[in-house]
Amino acid sequence: MNKNSTRPLNLFEYEKLAVECLSQMALDYYASGAWDEITLRDNRAAFERYKLRPRMLVDVSKRNLATHILSQPIQMPLLIAPMAFQCLACPEGEIATARAARSSGVGMVLSTLSTKSIEEVASSCHGSDSPALQWFQLYIHKDRGLTRALVERAYNAGYKALCLTVDAPVLGRRERDRHNEFALPPGLQLANLVNISGLNIPYQAGESGLFTYFAQQLDPAITWKDLEWLQSLSPLPLVLKGILRGDDAVRAIEYGAKAIVVSNHGGRQLDGAIASLNALVEVVKAVDGRAEILIDGGIRRGTDILKALALGAKAVLVGRPILWGLAVAGEAGVARVISLLRDELDVAMALSGCASLKDVDSQLLTCGTTPS
Ligand code: FNR
Ligand code: LAC
């Protein structure tokens, strides 16, 4: 396929185009999962196992995809997952992503390890009518002063929630990154950390520089008790990302979390971990309506979103396909990836007899030939 002559029709076609736009090191970093990439593949396979049970003869002439997440409106149930180092895909990096999220009416979660700063990303979206649904994703560093400063900056810049990633006490072993000796190329930096401490992703022979960064800088000792401290730093609602068990979800609520992201980090952390869609069922049951539940991992089609919602998620996060859009065409590419998903969800809802998200329920799905 040629970048200029072919208009990608779906997210898989975007991935094929992106392969030609990225350096090998960036592509491998974006695409890879941990060890044998079993969980990476399982995330997709889990969606294919569930089958839809469409309802017929429903008036679907008007369809509404809008919803609220933590009381904030979005045009469709989608947020862009936090992903590090987006300037590897295009020079505007996270700013392009944020603008596309804003113009498309979806949410965005900014990574602690972004290559554009908390303030740059927030201010790039100022000036339009509705407030952007922007959350800040936090990695707790050993240096608690540095961590506190990140939270305060996110709050002051107008981010609406703090999304603590809990599945990465150490970095998962991504062997492609080890082979490539992954490091940030000259000119790119950890934009949120450069003024505080000048931290960067080091080159290290035979190792992923990001793995070394995690080992040196992030705190693998954090436990549930630290959530109290974290919540004392700002009034931002707490979201925990990376929960895969019902009992952990219940604990998250007891410790004050307002939302949970069921996630295995896109198969990049513990390989062999349960597919996130399969964990969703257990988490939804345990939470029993006491917190909002989101999910990510392997969402590539509108029907995947529909299935996740039918199993009880309020919204989904999408990761890698956003980077493929960013690599192919910057802000416009991200906007188009979102619009493809929106169109697919819209058509899938119509064909399933759902005029609005309220009509999407567990009866819409089966895992075998009979309703579950
Ligand atoms: C991630 N992810 C991630 N998560 C997080 O909490 N903080 C981060 O900085 C990153 N960085 C990151 C970089 C890249 C390149 C990828 C692909 C992923 C995980 C991400 O938020 C999300 O959980 C998964 O990407 C979802 O799976 P899919 O949609 O990529 O299959
Ligand atoms: C990753 C980290 C940064 O998945 O979360 O690469």
> 295-312 pLDDT, tens per residue?
999 999 999 999 999 999
Instruction: State both tokens at 279.
Output: 């964990």
Residue 3 pLDDT greater than 50, yes or no: no
Residue 370: pLDDT band with limits 50, 70, 90: low
Give, for ligand 1, the residue of 12, 22, 44, 83 to mutate: max count of ligand atoms closer than 8 Å to Cβ: 83
Give pLDDT, residue 202. Answer: 83
Average pLDDT, the chain: 96
The one-character DSSP state at 23 is -
Nearest CA-CA partner of 286 in 319, 250, 318: 250
pLDDT one-digit tens code per residue, 238-265: 999 999 999 999 999 999 999 999 999 9
Cα(first)–Cα(last) distance of the chain, in Å?
41
Task: Please tell me the distance between residue 175's alpha carbon and the centre of ligand 2 in angstroms.
Answer: 14
Distance 318 CA to ligand 2 centre (A): 14
pTM of the predicted model over 0.95: yes
Res 297: pLDDT: 99
Answer yes or no: is pLDDT of 88 > 80: yes
Element (H, E) at 306: helix 302-310
Averaged pLDDT, 16-25: 98
Share of residues in the chain with pLDDT > 90 (%): 92
**Burial of 61 by CB count in 10 Å (0-12 exposed, 13-18 middle, 19+ buried)?**
exposed
**Do the beta carbons of residue 201 and residue 184 sit within 8 Å?**
yes
Alpha helices in 219-265 (DSSP H): 226-232, 246-254
Which residue's alpha carbon is nearest to atom 24 within ligand 1?
A: 266
DSSP conformational letter for 243: E
- CA 160 from chain centre, in angstroms, equals 16
User: CB within 8 A of 260, min separation 6: which ones?
Assistant: 239, 240, 241, 243, 249, 252, 253, 283, 287, 291, 292, 293, 294
Element (H, E) at 134: strand 134-138
The two tokens of residue 260 are: 């949970």
State the pLDDT at residue 4: 47
3-state secondary structure of 322: helix
Whether ligand 2 lies within 6 angstroms of the CB of 318 is answered as no
Does residue 372 have a pLDDT over 80? Answer: no
CB atoms within 10 A of CB 301: 18
Arithmetic mean of pLDDT, 279-296: 98
Give the single-character DSSP code of 362.
G
Q: Are strands 238-243 and 259-262 parallel, antiparallel or unpaired?
A: parallel
**Unique residue bearing structure tokens 């113009």:** 103
pLDDT tier at 131, thresholds 50, 70, 90: low
- Return the half-sphere exposure (C-beta side, CA atoms, 13 A cut-off) of residue 41: 5
Q: What is the pLDDT of residue 369?
A: 55
CATH number of 11-365: 3.20.20.70
> CA 314 → CA 196, 268, 353, distances in Å?
36, 24, 19
Q: Is the CB of 84 under 6 A from ligand 2?
A: yes
CA nearest neighbour of 334 among 73, 16, 104, 82: 104
| Cα-based distances in Å from 115 to 38, 84, 198, 271, 323 | 29, 7, 13, 27, 14
- CA–centroid distance, residue 348 to ligand 1 (Å): 26
Q: Over 70: is that where the pLDDT of 15 sits?
A: yes
Q: Residue 1 — very low, low, confident or very high, per pLDDT cuts 50/70/90?
A: very low
The H or E element that residue 239 is part of is strand 238-243
113 Cβ below 6 A of ligand 2: yes
The mean pLDDT of 267-280, rounded to a whole number, is 98
Average pLDDT, integer, range 38-66: 98
What is the pLDDT confidence band of residue 198, given thresholds at 50, 70 and 90? confident
Structure token digits, residue 28: 């491998």
CA atoms of 351 and 345, how far apart (whole Å): 10
- Nearest Cα neighbor of 149 from 158, 217, 140 is 140
